[in-house]
């Protein structure tokens, strides 16, 4: 990592901060499952897949993962595989750190008055609600971390292989292609660890149905996010200056 230009160093710091912030937020808000159609104000689609049917349900984390996809590809483009691997391992360490303190906070003895402070708003026991929201099951945390790290490493590998085959052109192809491959792995691994071999023991049909719906969503978002990727790419080139941007991209591609 030879980033002598202060602008390149500042940019990496900003991109890393955005990346890790979105990853940790996605981990915490992902405990909420929402129905897509009612959220959009439309009738339930009553989809049917692998014997499962109903509304389209997603974790709230899907709001944030598209930002993570874009950040991963941008960092890969300018800072190469080592840059992505660095922020990925750092994110994993900080996820463990965050959940560690969340569990510590859960086990602090609550103030007696605080337990019932939300009763008028439909929360009779604030301690129980706090524990349910922040105390995600160990299988869920482990599955999420393994799937995230595996997806990131695969994304780096596919991105660089496409880059070497196509050269500096076709940013959208290598970004979208790497996301489609890595998220195919990620979408199933996290569910398999958290809910199939975990304590809930999902059926194979439910696992395949939920995994497929989530993957199709991520794939669609990856394609729709392509213009955003080019926009961010252009803004970064202007910030760094064309010569420095070219130097960084050439160095990243050579790793």
- Contact residues for 132 (Cβ-Cβ < 8 A; gap 6+): 31
Kindly indicate the confidence band of residue 255, based on its pLDDT and cuts at 50, 70 and 90: low
Question: For the CA atoms of 72, 76, 82, 84, what is the dihedral angle to 10 degrees?
Answer: 0
Query: In this predicted structure, what is the pLDDT of residue 2?
Result: 58
The residue among 253 and 13 whose pLDDT is bigger is 13
Query: In this predicted structure, what is the pLDDT of residue 87?
Result: 94
**Mean per-residue pLDDT for 90-117?**
92
Query: In this predicted structure, what is the pLDDT of residue 204?
Result: 85
Q: Note the pLDDT tens digit of each residue in 30-54.
A: 778 788 888 888 888 787 777 777 7
Query: In this predicted structure, what is the pLDDT of residue 109?
Result: 95
Query: In this predicted structure, what is the pLDDT of residue 173?
Result: 82
CA-based max dimension of the chain: 64
> Mean pLDDT over all residues of the chain?
85
Residue 1 has pLDDT above 60, yes or no: no
Query: In this predicted structure, what is the pLDDT of residue 27?
Result: 85
Query: In this predicted structure, what is the pLDDT of residue 3?
Result: 65
Cβ atoms 78, 236 nearer than 8 A:
yes
**Mean per-residue pLDDT for 156-171?**
82
Cα–Cα distance list, 37 to 40, 54, 234 (Å): 5, 10, 35
């Amino acid at each position: 990592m030879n980033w002598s230009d202060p602008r390149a160093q500042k940019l990496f710091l900003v991109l890393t901060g955005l990346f890790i912030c979105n990853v940790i937020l996605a981990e915490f808000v992902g405990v909420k499952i929402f129905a897509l159609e009612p959220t959009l104000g439309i009738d339930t689609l009553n989809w049917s897949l692998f014997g499962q049917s109903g509304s389209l349900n997603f974790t709230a984390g899907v709001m944030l993962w598209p930002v993570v996809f874009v950040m991963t590809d941008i960092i890969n483009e300018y800072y190469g595989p080592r840059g992505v691997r660095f922020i990925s391992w750092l994110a994993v360490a900080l996820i463990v750190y965050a959940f560690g303190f969340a569990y510590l906070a859960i086990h602090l003895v609550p103030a007696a008055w605080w337990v019932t402070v939300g009763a008028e708003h439909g929360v009779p026991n604030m301690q129980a609600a706090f524990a349910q929201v922040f105390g995600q099951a160990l299988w869920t945390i482990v599955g999420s971390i393994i799937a995230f790290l595996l997806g990131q490493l695969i994304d780096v590998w596919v991105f660089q292989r496409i880059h070497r085959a196509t050269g500096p052109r076709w940013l959208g192809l290598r970004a979208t292609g790497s996301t489609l491959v890595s998220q195919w792995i990620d979408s199933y691994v996290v569910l398999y660890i958290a809910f199939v071999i975990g304590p809930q023991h999902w059926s194979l049909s439910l696992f395949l149905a939920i995994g497929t719906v989530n993957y199709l969503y991520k794939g669609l978002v990856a394609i729709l996010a392509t213009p955003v990727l080019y926009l961010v790419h252009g803004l970064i080139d202007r910030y760094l200056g064309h010569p420095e941007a070219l130097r960084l991209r050439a160095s990243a591609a050579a790793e």
